[in-house]
Amino acid sequence: MHYYSLGQIPPKRHTQFRQPSGKLYAEELFSTEGFSDVYSLLYHLNPPTMIRQVGEPYSVAPKVITDNQLRPRCLKGFQIAPEDDYLKSRKPVLVNSDCKISLAAPRKSVTEYFFKNADADEMIFIHVGSGVLKTMYGSIKFGYGDYLVIPRGTTYQLHFDSEDNRLLILESVSPIRTPKRYRNNFGQLLEHSPFCERDIRKPENLETIDEQGDFLFYIKKQDIIYPYTYLNHPFDVIGWDGYCYPFAFSIHNFEPITGRVHMPPPTHQTFESAGFVVCSFVPRLYDYHPLSIPAPYHHSNIDSDEILYYVDGEFMSRAHVEKGMITMHPAGIPHGPQPGTIEKSIGVKETAELAVMIDSFRPLYMTEHTAGIEMPEYYKSWLPK
């Protein structure tokens, strides 16, 4: 997060800023942690408060199907069925009180309504598809490999270029940030960070839409969707500045940190929140110690459930990996490469693997959507063949 400004803003905050007609612009402070963290100041043509109608709310709470948590799991993510509607397409598959991991294959752009997640920051990883994220801050073009990070409370629409879209969506009840250890006291990304501000794509093409009518919002709060109708178009901002805004970062711009011997997952860390970390495994050269073993060692993860979402390339540590596959290795039992893959990795110079890792500090639970896409015998996959 760093300072950014788009469009017109007054020279001093909280002062008179008038439209050509003489009417005052409506100033809005937007923050996700009260007045004590990052924020932006936005200038609307009209106040963002003019509710015309509140419709009947409905629940989208995921149904946890089992508390049998201590078992390695494997999900075939691309078996999640496509849906025309974006909100209907979002299927939570692994959830806890900190985060929800959903898979989605939406066919249609969001054009008839605006969505606002008041519960959680969203990280939308674009596995398949391209298009434009539209917000009151401006638009962000997205494509294969982009992480879209949308602060909670941001009203948005996703417009897709085609009907073939595959998304991995991570909702976080605490803010999603770049890793603190990669930032200096002023928030600037440090020299040893695997990416820097130039890699972070901010909103652009600010459109100021001056329309009144019935603008339908679906607002998600405590896993209930509230249909709201507002009088004013939400994208009526003439300018804004601040540190709080949606952004895109491409996994293809993540510069891997490599070493003479195996580097652990924190070197791949991309984002963090109070409840989890996100890591990017990208194509890279392998370890260059003369006796190095490129495959990872076995790992006893006692304090986090490890989720790996396979995007592309060959995976060194596991056979029969498909795109969109998710493995979950729960805290409490060791996991590691399948038999034979350690020896096979010796002497290999590079990997083309592309994957997103989510390590959740609290246990994750399966939902109604997980059952149909699970490989039930996965936990036996470390046995000798």
| Residues of the shown chain interacting with Fe ion in the complex, contacts defined by CB under 5 A | 299, 306
AA identity, residue 228: Y
| Residue number with the smallest Cβ distance to Fe ion | 299
C-beta of 77 vs 296, nearer to Fe ion:
296
Please report, for residues 10, 81, 374, the alpha-carbon distance to residue 76 in angstroms, rounded to integers and kept in the order given.
Answer: 51, 11, 6
> Smallest Cα–Cα separation from 356: which of 214, 250, 258?
250
C-beta of 159 vs 299, nearer to Fe ion:
299
Q: Which two tokens stand for residue 241?
A: 């500045």
CB 36 within 8 A of CB 269: no
Q: What minimum distance in Å lies between the beta carbon of 71 and Fe ion? A: 16
Helix (H) or strand (E) holding 269: strand 269-272
DSSP 89: H
Q: What minimum distance in Å lies between the beta carbon of 169 and Fe ion? A: 23
C-beta of 121 vs 272, nearer to Fe ion:
272
C-beta of 324 vs 330, nearer to Fe ion:
330
> Smallest Cα–Cα separation from 115: which of 228, 28, 33?
228
Find where tokens 């998304």 sit. 167
Q: What minimum distance in Å lies between the beta carbon of 377 and Fe ion? A: 21
C-beta of 225 vs 279, nearer to Fe ion:
279
Strand partners, 1: none
Find all residues with CB under 8 Å of 302, minimum gap 6, and list them.
331, 332
C-beta of 120 vs 354, nearer to Fe ion:
354
Residue 317's region, left for phi above 0, alpha for psi from -120 to 50, else beta, is alpha
CB 186 within 8 A of CB 3: no
> Smallest Cα–Cα separation from 140: which of 203, 84, 188, 210?
203
Q: What minimum distance in Å lies between the beta carbon of 281 and Fe ion? A: 11
Q: What minimum distance in Å lies between the beta carbon of 260 and Fe ion? A: 21
Q: What minimum distance in Å lies between the beta carbon of 275 and Fe ion? A: 17
C-beta of 76 vs 299, nearer to Fe ion:
299
- Distance separating alpha carbons of residues 138 and 130, to the nearest angstrom: 17
Q: What minimum distance in Å lies between the beta carbon of 329 and Fe ion? A: 6
Overall residue count recorded for the chain in this entry: 385
C-beta of 252 vs 299, nearer to Fe ion:
299
Strand partners, 202: none
Q: What minimum distance in Å lies between the beta carbon of 261 and Fe ion? A: 16
